[in-house]
Amino acid sequence: MIEDTIKNIVCTTLKIRPEDCSEDLAAGDIPQWDSLGHVNVLMAVEKHFGFAFDVVDSIDIESVGDIVDMVKKYTQGGAQA
């Protein structure tokens, strides 16, 4: 399930407990998710799924839920990777 995979990537990348990670968790909500943490999360997601986010799309990503939505868009043919 994409949601679980992304939550796992976020938890691992930011070194947080799974119970602290929900789809509502957003950049800036926790100290680990600062600008560098954000870049690291996006890079980890890109590496796992084998595509690169478009710059405009990456700017729109602010939360775990946004990442889930964007990955679904890319993996279901809604965007050119």
pLDDT value, residue 46: 97
Percent of the chain with pLDDT over 90: 91
Domains of the chain: 2-75 (1.10.1200.10)
The pTM (predicted TM-score) of the whole model is 0.90
**Could you tell me the two tokens for 56?**
């405009």
Spell out where 9-53 has E strands: none
d(CA 44, CA 50): 10
Closest CA to 75 of 48, 40, 39, 55: 48
Looking at the DSSP bridge assignments, the partners of residue 26 are 63
pLDDT tens string 24-35: 999 999 999 999
d(CA 67, CA 81): 15
